[in-house]
Amino acid sequence: MFVCTLLTDPTVRNLEGALVESLRNAWGGGDAQWLSPDEAAEFSLAQLPANQWDVWADVQKMGVDLVIQPAEGRRKRMLIADMDSTMIQQECIDELADVAGVGDRVKDITACAMNGELDFEAAIRVRVCLLRDLPESVIGDVLATRITLMPGGPALLATMKAAGAYAALVSGGFTAFTAAVAGQLGFDENRANTLLVADGVLTGEVGMPILGQQAKVDALDQITARLGLVDADVLAVGDGANDLGMLRRAGMGVALHAKPSVAAQCDVRVNFGDLTALLFLQGYARSEFVGA
């Protein structure tokens, strides 16, 4: 059995009942269940529709996300998440670079790296080098004035944690940021790269080893082994090329507002919903959200 979930931007709430019923009838689905009025609904399917991706493309034009997945084991026991442009709305290194006066140069490199056009390790070295001599205190300033949580993140963490799930924040960014974001949202652990500092200023170097795509896969493997879980128990979410390894490995890998080249390689794509979409995809109704 499979489940088809339809959802939309919670600030717009433009999911029409007629669309849900039309698809349910066309695909011979079970009765529709509304997880949130005008925002998210689901129905069961006996088999995968042959025209799934054609319909997906059509409803995307309406501002609607459509995901079909196996019904069994949807509620996950572990969340592993990227940070930049996933749990927060910014790319931390771009914000630091903007303060340092090299914002445009670094943003271009970041965009290429996240789209898989540049080697991640080489790209991070070049970008961090451009931050040389930036006062360490700027990190705290950026956290306080420029970093905002992705909508839906607090509810996602609180709801999954209340259900007993473990949460890990694993980033190709920097520990100075992941520690703060993890603490704010309630992640159980965080892993990231380290910006090296000497005499109160950034040296322009990053600590070794550099955490890239493989490090995220390794984190998933290590944490599941430690907790006695398997890949199928894991929900992974990210947006960039360095997230693809963990997105493919996890039982549910969600490309959230992802770069086009990344989304094209993932079966679960959320382009309009916020992080609460990950709860709807697990079958949670909005009435079950914690702290929302």
Instruction: Tell me, yes or no, if 82 is annotated catalytic.
Output: yes
Which domains, ranges and CATH numbers included, belong to the chain?
1-72 (3.30.70.260), 75-292 (3.40.50.1000)
Mean pLDDT of 49-59: 97
pLDDT at residue 92, rounded to an integer = 94
SS3 252: strand
Percent of the chain with pLDDT over 90: 87
Q: What does the pLDDT look like over 215-270, one tens digit per residue?
A: 999 999 999 999 999 999 999 999 999 999 999 999 999 999 998 889 999 999 99
State the pTM of this model: 0.94
C-alpha distances out from residue 94 to 103, 117, 273, Å: 6, 17, 24
- Confidence label for 292 from pLDDT (cuts 50, 70 and 90): low
- Burial of 57 per CB tally in 10 Å (0-12, 13-18, 19+): exposed
CB 80 within 8 A of CB 245: no
C-alpha 201/C-alpha 215 separation (Å) is 27
Q: What does the pLDDT look like over 276-291, one tens digit per residue?
A: 999 999 999 999 999 8
* Structure-token match 């340092």, residue found: 100
Percent of the chain with pLDDT over 70: 100
CA 11 to chain CA centroid, nearest Å = 19
- Confidence label for 118 from pLDDT (cuts 50, 70 and 90): confident
Instruction: Look at residue 102 and tell me whether its pLDDT is greater than 70.
Output: yes
Catalytic residue among 9, 54, 58, 84: 84
Catalytic residue among 65, 82, 239, 274: 82
78 backbone dihedrals φ, ψ, rounded to 5°: -150, 140
Mean pLDDT of 41-50: 97
pLDDT at residue 278, rounded to an integer = 98
pLDDT at residue 115, rounded to an integer = 79
Instruction: Tell me, yes or no, if 84 is annotated catalytic.
Output: yes
Strand partners, 69: 3
What mean pLDDT, rounded, does the chain reach? 95
C-alpha 284/C-alpha 278 separation (Å) is 9
pLDDT at residue 41, rounded to an integer = 98
Could you tell me whether strands 252-256 and 166-174 are parallel, antiparallel, or unpaired per DSSP bridges? Answer: unpaired
ω before 209 within 30° of 0 (cis)?
A: yes
